[in-house]
Each structure stands twice: as C-alpha cells, then as structure tokens.
Amino acid sequence: MFRKVIFVFCLFQLGYEIQAQSQGNDTMPQGEIFTSVQSVEIGGSTLDFDTETGTIQLRDENDEPIALFGFTYYKSTSPDASRPITFAFNGGPLSASFWLHFGILGPKRIVINDPGYTGPAPYEVVNNEYSILDKTDLVMIDPIGVGFSRPIGKAKWEDFWGVDQDIRTIGLFIEQFIIRTNNFNSPKYLLGESYGTFRNAGLVKYLQDKGIAMNGVIMVSAVFELQHLLFGPGDDISYLIHFPTYAATAWYHDKVADKGENLESFLDDVRDFTENEYAPALLKGDQLSESEKNDMAQKLADLSGLSQDYWLKADLRVTNSEYFQELLRDDTRTVGRLDSRFTGLSEDPLSQFASTDPQSDAISPPYIAAFKDYLYNDLNVRKDLTYTTSTGGRPDFKWDWNHSGNVTWNAQVAVSTLPDMTTAMKQNPNLKILILNGYFDLATVFYGVEYSINHMGLDPELKQNIIMKYYDAGHMMYTHPPSMEKWKEDLDEFMDATHR
C-alpha cells in the first residue's frame, strides 16, 4: 500500500512538472519582429528588400529556449534560389553590429568627416551605393548582451560571454535562422570585424562541423592570436608586428625624412628591416652591444618618427599606447588607435600613455545617434525597447577567454582561433578567406595578420585561398571615401569568384 501511494504521488508530481514546464514554455518570451521595406540604389538600379528587425527565440541543442537573439534581415523582394546570404557582425567583445550596418553594409550610411571630428546633429545620412546588397541578402547579428539580445529561461549572461560560448550561440542562431528562412542550399558568407574576425575563425569550423560550409569568410581588420596585442613580458612578437604600422603612421604625419616612392614601397622596406634587422636585435636581448643598440635605436627613430633617445629609454620596445602619445607630443596631440590618421588633443601631455582614442571620439556620437534614428523610425522598432550598443555599460560584464581549440597548458596565455581556421581550410579546400587590412590600424595591425597567415603551415596551393587586401585607412576603413570604393570592388570580386 505504501509503495502504491508513493507511485501515485510520483505520477502526480511528474504530471505537475510536465504541466508547469509546458506552461513555462507557453509564457516564455517568443521574440518580436518589426517589418518594413527598405531600398538602395547601387550602380543606377534601385533594389527593394523585405526587412525584419527584432528578436527570435534561440534554442539550445535540446530545443530549450535560452535567449532572445537580435538581428536585422534584408531579403530581396525578387526571389532567387541561388542568391547568397551573408551573416555579419562587429567585434568587441561585445559590440553591436551598427558600425558595419550603418557604415558600409546596409542600404543607408552615415557621412563622416574623415579623418576629423564630425559636427553635432543634424547628421547626414545617404543612400549607400557601396552596400553588398546587390550581391547578397544580409543578416546583421547582435550577440547576447548587445542590441536587443538577452538571455531567457534558465540561461544567464555568463552562458554567452566567452570565446566558446559566443561561437556556440552565434552558430546556433545561424543554423536556426537558415532553417527558418529556407537558406540551407544558398551560398553562405560570414563577415566579421575586429574581434568578429577572431570569432569568424572559430565559427567557420563550428558551422562546418555541423554540415554548414561557407562559400567564403570576410575578415575586416583581423586578429587571430590575441596575445599579439598584449605586449606581454618577455614577448617580443607584439613589438615587431606593431612596428610597420608605427612607420606607416609616421609616414602619414610627415615624421620620416625618406618617404620613398609611395606608402607601399616604403612599407616593403619597413617589413624587410623588421624581419632582418629589428627582429635579430630583439632576439639578442642584453647580448646586444651598446654600439649595436645605439645604431638600432637610430634606425627605429628614422622610420617611426620617435627620437633615438626615446627608443633607447624604451629598450627598443615601444607599446602602441606609448606610441599614440609620443609621436605628436610636442604638438600636445595624440594619434588614434583605431585609425592613426585621426588626431586629438592630449588630455595629459606629461603622461606616458594616451588616455583616449581620437578616432573613436570623433565618430561614435554620429554613428550611434544616426543609427538609432534609422532603427526606430525607418525600421519601425518599438520606441520603448532599448538598443544596447556595447557591453561596456554592463557592470556585470566579464569575458571567459578559455578556448577549447587551444591546448590546456597555454590556454590562459595564448588565446588563438588560428588553429580552428587552419583545420577548417584543410578539411574544406574550397573555402576562401578575404582579409581586409588598414595600413593605419593600430588596434589590429596588418603585419600581425601577415605573421599569423605565414605560420598556419598551409601548402602553397591552399594558402592561395587567403586573399589579402590593403587600404589607406584604419580599423574602420569604410569611414574613408576612397577606401569605400575599393571595399566595394574587392567584395564584389570575391563574391563573384566564390558564388557558383
């Protein structure tokens, strides 16, 4: 009798839990989508797009709801089964996708006073003739924590905030999105900027392992090995890979005596110097003689715009933040991190390091204000929904830098998704990678990308699948009008070559 009572109670409890779970799923937020029709004129033709902006419910591998995932989707009103779809995002971590969205990819773009400060509102918003929407449908992605994206159900912020967590959840979104929109047989592209390229290198393998192979991956201002940005103790690589961008910056600001025939030829000489003279000098460390050190400091001074004395005091090793502050110190100005063509007033001329980034200061207000005006008025988003541009304002934000693609012993000091991209390319020899580099980008330096690509261990034929393009601009090369034109040409050529 006692066992029978227990059995009946257990059945009752199980039924109650199933009912409660069902009711919970029924009341779980489903997401909300706002629709509009947007148009863009490219090459003299006007194109129309059914547009969705908002969130959809993201499910985990067991179909449990875990998040409302935010996006904007531009779908051509002229159906074509062979039309590609591109998934695009910015970096951070974590930044919303409005930079790419309103800078170069979407149907409209903000006009910036490049390379100066843009005045206050009203801002100029124009038709974006450089958009890729004539080539592909487009999904702008906002990871969990930015845009309108947030956890639901039992999920917590930390379930999404980390290298692997981020790759997994964006991969889940892309898979569920192409199921929802019937795009499994469409040509597919990933496009990421900055940390978005680090994400891309892991994401392309994650998706490929799930049977979703990309036609191409577009890397804007790339970095694959984060330790190269850190200037860690005893690590000379960071100093070496930053030096060519120091030289490019000095060239731009007329701080070098011999500028050569043009920037490209000048930088070819700088690369040669870095590899064959600067690198061996740093390798010697304290074994470098005093005369050798003085000679090297003078050569560094001639190419960088900093004095020989400064290089000697720095032991031939100058960090990027020191360079921002020192190059134009006598003019009480600093140069930009994201784009060293931009300059701003130094807040503390006596400081060793720059305290602000002139490029970010110059463009952030117009980008944010103009995009939100577009979001709430053109894309018809409800005005009581808050669009979060960055997790920088979230007091509980913390990123988990562990990555399963790195071996255990070095995961804390050498965070890299380069092995993921290497494996993806070797397992899919049809995969093409387009990397866009700004010569004046001191956030993710072009020579660092070259270093990484040259250490992937690819055979010559497979290495040809990586295409490198360079721009006379910085991290966001699309703020520079001539680079916008080149961007359009480069992406059109890449998509035409990889869209079969």
pLDDT at 447 over 90: yes
pLDDT of residue 252: 98
Side-chain half-sphere of 71: how many Cα atoms within 13 Å? 25
Contact 143, 166 (CB under 8 A): yes
Same domain for 391 and 429, yes or no, is yes
Residue 29: predicted pLDDT: 86
pLDDT of 62 over the 80 cut: yes
Rounded CA separation 449/428 (Å): 21
pTM of the model as a whole: 0.93
Please report whether residue 4 resides in a domain.
no
pLDDT at 26: 60
2 is a domain residue: no
Q: Return the amino acid letter for 487.
A: W
Does residue 155 lie in a domain region? yes
d(CA 356, CA 344): 9
- Check: CB of residue 32 under 8 Å from CB of residue 52: no
**Domain identity same for 410 and 452:** yes
Span 331-340, average pLDDT: 97
| Whether 300 and 259 share a structural domain | yes
Average of pLDDT values for 95-111? 98
One domain, residues 352 and 385? no
Q: CA of 352: how far to CAs of 258, 318, 321, 334, 439, in Å?
A: 28, 11, 8, 11, 24
Same-domain check for residues 63 and 169: yes
pLDDT digits (tens, 9 = 90+) for 284-312: 999 999 999 999 999 999 999 999 999 99
Phi–psi pair at 38, nearest 5 degrees: -115, 150
Structure confidence at residue 1 (pLDDT) = 40
Indicate whether 5 belongs to any domain.
Answer: no
Q: Number of structural domains, the chain?
A: 2
Please indicate, yes or no, if residue 15 is contained in any of the structural domains.
no
Among 343, 358, 373, residue at a domain's last position: 358
122 and 214 both lie in a single domain: yes
Owning domain of residue 146: 33-227+364-498
Distance CA 145, CA 161 (A): 8
Please tell me the predicted confidence (pLDDT) of residue 25.
52
The stretch 257-270 carries a mean pLDDT of 96
- Strand 125-127 versus strand 343-345 pairing type: unpaired
44: alpha, beta or left? (left if phi > 0; alpha if psi -120 to 50): left
CATH number of 148's domain: 3.40.50.1820
Residue 13 covered by a domain: no
- Do 373 and 448 belong to one domain? yes
Using the predicted structure, report yes or no on whether residue 16 has a pLDDT greater than 50.
no
The pLDDT of residue 38 is above 60: yes
pLDDT at residue 18 above 60?
no
**Which one is predicted more confidently, 450 or 227?**
450
DSSP per-residue codes, 182-226: T-TTS-EEEEEETHHHHHHHHHHHHHHHTT---SEEEEES--SBG
pLDDT band at 500 (very low <50, low <70, confident <90, very high): low
Q: Are residues 59 and 150 located together in one domain of the fold?
A: yes
Q: What is the pLDDT of residue 333?
A: 96
pLDDT confidence of residue 79: 83
